[in-house]
Amino acid sequence: MALREINFDGIVGPTHNYAGLSLGNLASARNAGDVSRPRAAALQGIEKMRANLELGLAQGILLPHPRPHRAWLAELGTSIEEAEPALAANAMSSSAMWAANAATVSPSPDTLDGKCHLTVANLRTMPHRSHEWPATLAQLKIAFAGPDFAVHGPVPSAFGDEGAANHMRLTPGHGEPGVEVFVYGISGGAFPARQHLEASKAVARLHALDPDRVIFAEQSPDAIAAGAFHNDVVAVANERVLFAHEQAFADKEPMIAALQAAVPGFEYVEVPAAEVPLADAVRSYLFNAQLVTLPDGNPTLIVPGEARETASVWSWLERHVRGNGPIRRVEVVDVRQSMANGGGPACLRLRVVADPANIDPRFLVDGEKLNRIAAAVDRHWPEEIHHDDLQQPSLIADVERARAALLQELDLSELA
């Protein structure tokens, strides 16, 4: 098998809006009530994918979910037309665009049965995300239908699971056995800890992981309280490199020692709080970046434009690259519409290490397919949405037609 890391980006849906639904997500709260630009948001995401392809990376997609979520509203005894505005906003959310929360993925080199395992996240902490998993599971079962994959339903909702945003993998190379790090939370001050330890343990068991190559690490309560609602807001890993803020973990030393012992060539890159305060790291999404390995072997960090605009963050990155640190290159992308709702470059993608030949090709993209997707977005996505207009019949009809047009363009009508 020719295993590669593939980034599956969520296409920003036509209902992208700023309703401020995510407690603990400071950007979401800060921009609540602003006018959103779904068309611009989707096109920004497409351009990020195009830039990844130009860097030589493999790229896939996940599709917007049906919105409004009529079936969910029916379970609550109402409809999009009759629901209270707050409930309607939950049913119109486009948060499934943040594919890092779609599932947790364990590649075949790590699993005892030699399959790539994917467990869809239940996202039970936030109402607007708690109803995403059935539509996500439907896509995963199509995209990864072959015998090389095992796709699991969600962990029971007694235990919160937020997917790959709280999961890291360290390995000498993507196709080699790795150590999987599951990051959970216990306390976050005024904000909920979304990833439960029992959920992480369940996923590790479901994925048939070697217990000796699994680490459970607690996220720092200070990080959660500062707005790091997922671990990927304060830490990111790729192959041998773990890149983290000094205040990311409650007790980092045992984790670092275990990784040094188990991962040949392991490198830990820590950003001191004295140089980049936690508030700057969260606001800029320095760590909610894509840390990737380019075909030339250089570890590269793909950061949002806000990282370049935050003086402490950009100064640290420039010093690190000039000093020939483990991260050799920094690329900047514009995902401002996503950032304004609390999701950076890493939020938008789910990492899967697999042989592309074993994946349904409709979920893989090249430049030509991205052109077709962009054309569909240009034709059908709303230019603007104010959250007060989410129950307008004309908007509802427009966004349902928009998603249907994209499914037809990609020959994925079974997801209608």
Cα–Cα distance measured from residue 160 to residue 158, given in angstroms and rounded to the nearest whole number: 7
DSSP code for 330 = E
Cα distances (Å, whole numbers) of residue 148 to 60, 101, 107, 143, 190 = 18, 22, 10, 12, 42
Cα–Cα distance measured from residue 411 to residue 277, given in angstroms and rounded to the nearest whole number: 47
Cβ contacts of 143 within 8 Å, gap of 6 or more: 8, 60, 62, 359, 360, 362, 363
Cβ contacts of 297 within 8 Å, gap of 6 or more: none
- Name the nearest CA neighbour of 382 among 68, 151, 41, 72: 41
What is the residue type of 268?
Answer: Y
Residue 85 has which token pair? 């505005």
14 sits in the region (left: phi over 0; alpha: psi -120 to 50; else beta) called: alpha
Give all strands of the β-sheet with 103-106 in edge-to-edge order. 103-106, 116-120, 149-152
| Residues designated catalytic | 162, 230, 347
Residue 162 has which token pair? 């937020």
- 96 neighbors 65 (Cβ within 8 angstroms): yes
- Name the nearest CA neighbour of 106 among 48, 60, 170: 170
Pairing state between β 299-304 and 329-333 = parallel
Cα distances (Å, whole numbers) of residue 46 to 125, 315, 328 = 29, 28, 25
259 Cα distance to chain centroid: 24
Angle, helices 367-380 vs 38-54, to 10°: value is 170
- 247 neighbors 223 (Cβ within 8 angstroms): yes
